[in-house]
Structure 1
Amino acid sequence: MNIVELTQRCGFAALVALPAGCMDLPVDADVEARQGGGPGIDFDIGADGTPGFLLEDVQLRPGVTVDLFVNLYGSLDKASESKRCHFAVHGGVFAAASWRPYAKALGEDACVLVTDMPVRGNSGVPQGALFGDLDLFDYVTAIEEVLERLDARKIRPRTILGHSMGGTLVQMLQQRLVDAGSSLRKRFGIRDAILVASDLPAEVPWALGDSGDLSGLIQAFAVEEPAYGSLFEIPVALWPAFYFTNRDGDVVPGALTPAEIEAGGFNALGEPLRAIHQLNGTGPFTSRPSADAELFEKKGTRLRAIAYEEDIYVQLAESETLYRHLSGDPASRCFVPVLGPDTVHVLQFSNPQALVDAIADSEDCHY
């Protein structure tokens, strides 16, 4: 059973008619300013109590700026220790807090830096354009600018992770840098890129995306928000069907409830409809974003791809093809399939230890 059938079974048409709006999410009591920094680091504190860095007036395009918050999950006592940090990119309709369970599973020595994209978590609303006017290129610019500003503070993580849409953004950033004669390694010193349940570029066949079924699904969840423009919103009541369902259409053990999703701050109001169409090659876009073959081969950044057996969006074989396309490694030596009955698209929420173990087990891979 695919996601289109699932949502039809759950009656999404009726839910689309519900009034949509930006909810005031309850603050997770566990989210506090856990560890401070040494004398050389001054942390800001987000509205939910998370330490991090407030980066004001990040320019997304000429005349369009936004205040972005880089959340620190774990500890960072001095800038020189930042090489052990992971810089993580959240997926579509998620917030930075979606990486918090992963950071907790890493243990006491965790350092995970995650930027809230606009209109979610601790980040602000774009100035100079509606949120709904943004696209994936604006998000890539945001990530690039964030890494630049962190570098100016001598905070230089060596690993970048991208989950779902975040995986596409990592690919797009590497593509932009390579096209300019640089790379993630040359520009930012990033030695490892880890794609987690990543969406696929135009060059990799994708059964769900290429079926044409996504166009109607996306439009079914398209809404007009007066303050934000045209958005793609998934009601939190449908999150179990969208994200915690296996390939047989059953909600898996350990799935989070809608209340737990909200309490954790994992969800966002939505994404710009334009960006979701761009991601999937639907609407005004005739194809998904492109990523060159061997984009990470001999560019100084080792690529790993983590994929989940029960992911209803991207099949294991498709993720392996993605890895081979980007790495040029025909032996799939740094492709990591995670198997088991609970290995759904958002395993990092429900069983983050499994993701921690998958990354740790692949630490010595090479190609």
Structure 2
Amino acid sequence: MRLVKSSWCFAALLIAHNGCSEALEEPDVEARKGHSGLVLDVGEDGTPGFMLTDIELRPGVTVDLFVNLYGELDAASASKSCQFAVHGGVFAAASWRPYAEALGEGACVLAADMPVRGNSGTPEGALFGELDLFDYVTALERVLDRLNARGIRPRTILGHSMGGTLVQMLQQRLVDDCTSLRERYGIRDAILVASDLPAEVPWLLGDSGDLSGLIEAFAVDEPGLGELFEIPVALWPAFYFTDRNDNVVPGALTPAQIEAGGFNALGEPLRAIHQLNGTGPFTARPSAAAGLFEKGTRLRAIAYEEDIYVQLGESETLYRHLTGDDSSRCFVPVLGPDTVHVLQFSAAERLVDAIAASDDCHD
């Protein structure tokens, strides 16, 4: 049976590889034909991008998702220089805008809003609170498929916080289907930023059992949406801009600045937050196999010194687990008194510099 399975996987990989090769060439062919212009939608907040309607999260459950364009993209053939960014839990896609602006002129960051935030809609066929991380992974998969159908194929994917877990889960799903981010979408680089940790990596905070009470303390039953985990924006400085000595760091954004930037979401499905942390009905966090990024898509892990959620050593263990690289060549610690979990919200140039300085780490 193992031989049959291996043969099937090898055949599937060949098919996927051939499909990716054709899709990678298609945008340039279209450009040569003179059809390189893109028609962009405009979100409710005025951001250009792509409204992808009726994204199926599971049978009978759909949602309209908006992919925000921060920066410039005038032709599908230019999308290979874009970065596809996945926001974290209780954040919105706009949380990547400061990073895109720090990249400078000519940058292109595509960031999809998950449901019930930013420019995206509310699920049809299920309450928002009934969704879980598997639904979010499906959303990312469908979004990348839809972009691919338009000839838009970013070569870099970034995931911040919970978004890092979603990137790992997506790669795991694809590998289980005998393909990968590289084979299916042409994604060459993955960058995890202050990523949450999978079940296989020890996590002091998560494994302590202390999170269960905290999560339940911020559980809210929202009419028409279901049970959500919500952090009032007034508490964001304490939750996200606090260092390891419990001090709010210099340069921390105020609640008014957070709301004005559109960085925050109403909340997340309580079920999804429990799943992320291995609490509530979940006995373990999502799984990511050893060596998940050993071949194909190159991985970097960015970690912040003053992050109160994930320690530097834990992020380094994550990097080694996912890549098999015991030398930690592409583990990138960002040091300093302001390097909290959401550093790129308030000092995005620090993240830009860390990524640029590690561009050759795989050589």
Please report the TM-score for the alignment, with normalisation by the length of structure 2: 0.90
Instruction: Select 2:48's aligned residue among 51, 66, 73.
Output: 51
CA RMSD in angstroms comes to: 0.7
Counterpart Cα distance in 2 of 1:120 and 1:351 = 23
Partner of 1:341 in structure 2? 337
Secondary structure of the equivalent of 2:173?
Answer: helix
Q: Which residue of 2 aligns with 1:229?
A: 226
* Aligned equivalent of 1:327: 323
State yes or no: 1:243 paired with 2:240: yes
Q: State the one-letter code of the partner of 1:150.
A: L
Q: Which residue identity lines up with residue 121 of structure 2 in the other structure?
A: G
Question: Are the equivalent residues in 1 in contact too, given 2:168–2:288 (CA < 8 A)?
Answer: yes
Shift of 1:109: 1.2
Structure 1 distance, partners of 2:346, 2:146, is 32
182, 185, 189: which one aligns with 1:185: 182
Query: Residue 198 of structure 2: which of 185, 188, 201 is its match?
Result: 201
Name the aligned partner's letter for residue 322 of structure 1: L
**2: distance between equivalents of 1:326 and 1:312?**
22
Partner of 1:18: none
Query: Which residue in the other structure is 1:266 paired with?
Result: 263
CA apart distance, 1:227: 1.2
Give CA deviations for 1:317-366 in whole Å, capped at 9, x if unaligned. 00000000001000000000000000000000110000000000000011
Query: Among residues 124, 128, 140, which one is paired with 1:127 in the alignment?
Result: 124
User: How big is each residue's C-alpha offset from its partner over 1:127-154, in whole Å with a ceiling of 9 and x where there is no partner?
Assistant: 0000000000000000000000000000
Structure 2 stretches of 5 or more lacking a match? 1-34
Other-structure match for 1:60 = 57
Q: Structure 1: how far apart are the matches of 2:294 and 2:36?
A: 39
Give the letter for the 1:130 counterpart. Answer: L
1:366 aligns with 2:362: yes
Counterparts of 2:104 and 2:324, CA distance in 1:
33
1:146 aligns with 2:143: yes
Q: Distance in 1 between matches of 2:317 and 2:141?
A: 27
How far apart in 1 are the matches of 2:343 and 2:302? Answer: 11
Structure 1, unaligned stretches of length 5 or more?
1-37
CA distance in 2, matches of 1:328, 1:152: 33
For the residues of structure 2 that align with 1:114 and 1:349, how far apart are their CA atoms? 15
TM superposition shift of 1:40? 2.1
Report how many residues are paired.
329
1:43-71 CA-partner distances (Å, limit 9, x unpaired): 00000000000000000000000000000
1:224-278 deviation per Cα after TM superposition (whole angstroms, max 9, x unaligned) = 0011000000000000000000000000000000000000000000000000000
Deviations 1:72-94 (A, max 9, x none): 00000111000000000000000
Q: Secondary structure at the match of 1:209?
A: helix
Q: Is the 8 A contact 2:36 2:77 kept in 1?
A: no
CA deviations over 1:28-50 (Å, ceiling 9, x no partner)? xxxxxxxxxx8620000000000
Paired amino acid for 2:211: L
| 2:298 corresponds to 1:317 | no
* Moved >3 Å (runs of 4+): none
Residue type of the alignment partner of 1:340? G
Q: Deviations over 1:281-301 (max 9, x none)?
A: 000000000000000001x10
Structure 2 letter corresponding to 1:364: D
**Which whole-Å deviations, capped at 9, do the CAs of 1:92-143 have from their partners, x for residues lacking one?**
0000000000000000111000000000000000000000000000000000
> Which has the larger helix fraction?
2
Match of 2:89 among 89, 92, 110: 92
SS of 1:336's partner is strand
Distance in 2 separating the partners of 1:144 and 1:181: 15
What secondary structure sits across from 1:354 in the alignment? helix
Fraction of identical pairs, as percent: 82
Distance in 1 between the 2:253 and 2:36 partners? 39
Q: In the TM superposition, what are the counterparts of 1:69-80 in structure 2 within 5 Å?
A: 69-80=66-77
**Equivalent-residue separation in structure 2 for 1:73 and 1:198 (angstroms):** 22
Q: Distance in 2 between matches of 1:279 and 1:362?
A: 28
Rounded to whole Å, the distance in 1 between the matches of 2:314 and 2:106 is: 34
The residue matched to 1:242 in structure 2 has which SS?
Answer: helix
Contact kept, 8 Å, 2:36 with 2:76, in 1: the verdict is no
Which residue in the other structure is 1:301 paired with?
Answer: 297
**Distance in 2 (alpha carbons) for counterparts of 1:163 and 1:51:** 22
Q: 1:219 aligns with which of 179, 204, 216?
A: 216
Q: Output the CA distance in 2 between the equivalents of 1:350 and 1:119.
A: 24
1:352 has 2:328 as partner? no
Letter in 2 for 1:292: A
Structure 1 partner of 2:252: 255
Distance in structure 2 (CA, Å) of the matches to 1:53 and 1:351: 27
- 1:332 alignment partner, SS class: coil
State how far apart, in whole Å, the 1-side matches of 2:358 and 2:138 are: 30
Q: Distance in 1 between matches of 2:262 and 2:213?
A: 28
SS at 1:311 equivalent: coil
